[in-house]
Amino acid sequence: MVTTPLSSQPAPTLSPLNVPQRLLLGPGPSNVNPVVLAAMNTPPLGHLDPDFLGIMDEIQTLLRYVWQTQNRLTYAISGTGTAAMEATLANAIEPGDRVVVCVKGYFGHRLVDMAQRYGAQVHAIHQTWGQPFSKESIQNAIETHRPAVLAIVHAETSTGVRQPLEGLSDLCQAHGTLLLVDTVTSMGGVPIKLDEWGIDLAYSCSQKGLACPPGASPFTLSDRAYAKLQKRSGKVPNWYLDATLLEKYWGSERVYHHTAPINMYYALREALRLLAEEGIENAWERHQQNAEYLWSQLEAIGLQMHVAKEYRLPTLTTVRIPEGIDGKAIARRLLLDYNIEVGGGLGELGGKVWRIGLMGYNSRPENVDRLLQAFKEVL
């Protein structure tokens, strides 16, 4: 009897993986410390192995340190920073909740979209791309709409703006509002003190200031946010990201929820350990010093920054593309001829700026020197 193969499609023939060595000075990911890469090559354990559960405990302790918080419910989402963003909104919002979103760039718009999908009555307030919100404009929005949640981006990746957060928690607590903050491009590189600043919900990613590959993303809830979660009238509408389920895996019960990305958690643990070894205040200072060096060198060759100095991010700088220059062509030459990646503008800043990241392991003066030499040649 002759059997017919199930498929006549030939197997693809590919060469072994060969990845170019780039200097990643765009908006993320950033280059990874070799120590972290080595950790990823460690053989995986089972996701309920007691030694792996011990690593999860260490990750929680280290996240609390880097974020400067004592929040019990602090852990890593198995996914990229966008998954952590969605986890925060899914757990914070019930259908019908009034939510004020402060939009000053691309990722503010993403917060609006996600909040609407979870049934919130969203009231967006807007600021020019490249400027922060004033405390007065936020106060006016809170007093007008009396929201359950105020959502704001601390470090807007699309514009390079650092949003001052001090004092916002007083406004929120006076009106029973939870303060939700995007720290994707600030965690590890920009001063942020969740408890001191009264931040109730926060999320981040692994591939920027933490200098780790993408895929394990920090998430935290304060006691106030957890109390709201416990009082929900229905289940969190996203099963995978439901904090009431995940706390049983990350907490003392150790109830199976999903298969964790074991090797990604190894990497995150080591990246956080290196930050703790350096000291978080020292890391913040290192990022600031190297950013100021970058700014001075860019200005020395005639380039202008997009954001006023007092509101610039030390992790992500937006540089105005000069008149008559094809920004995409310059970025492509940097990539193909010099193996250096820089980002282009997003949204309203498309074609108007380059975005240069100095984050985590990449925040070093020799990387600034290498970029500036290449910029001089291609310009």
Paired with 151 in beta bridges are 101, 180
Residue that is written with structure tokens 């004020």 in the block:
100
Task: Provide the sign of the torsion angle of the four alpha carbons 374, 331, 212, 36, taken in this order.
Answer: negative
d(CA 260, CA 349): 37
Residue ranges of E strands in 188-250: 201-203, 216-221
CB 76 within 8 A of CB 250: no
Joined together, the tokens standing for residue 91 give: 């757990």
Joined together, the tokens standing for residue 52 give: 């792996």
**Comparing C-alpha atoms, which of 91, 130, 62 is closest to residue 240?**
91
CB 163 within 8 A of CB 183: no
CB 194 within 8 A of CB 215: no
Residue 355 is labelled as binding a ligand = yes
d(CA 269, CA 285): 22
Strand 121-126: give its sheet, edge to edge: 73-78, 216-221, 201-203, 178-182, 149-153, 98-103, 121-126
Torsion of CA 65, 67, 69, 73, to 10 degrees: -100
Residue ranges of E strands in the chain: 23-24, 73-78, 98-103, 121-126, 149-153, 155-156, 161-162, 178-182, 201-203, 216-221, 304-305, 316-320, 340-341, 343-344, 353-357
Joined together, the tokens standing for residue 295 give: 């700014």
- Which residues carry a binding-site annotation? 355
- Which residues carry a binding-site annotation for substrate? 355
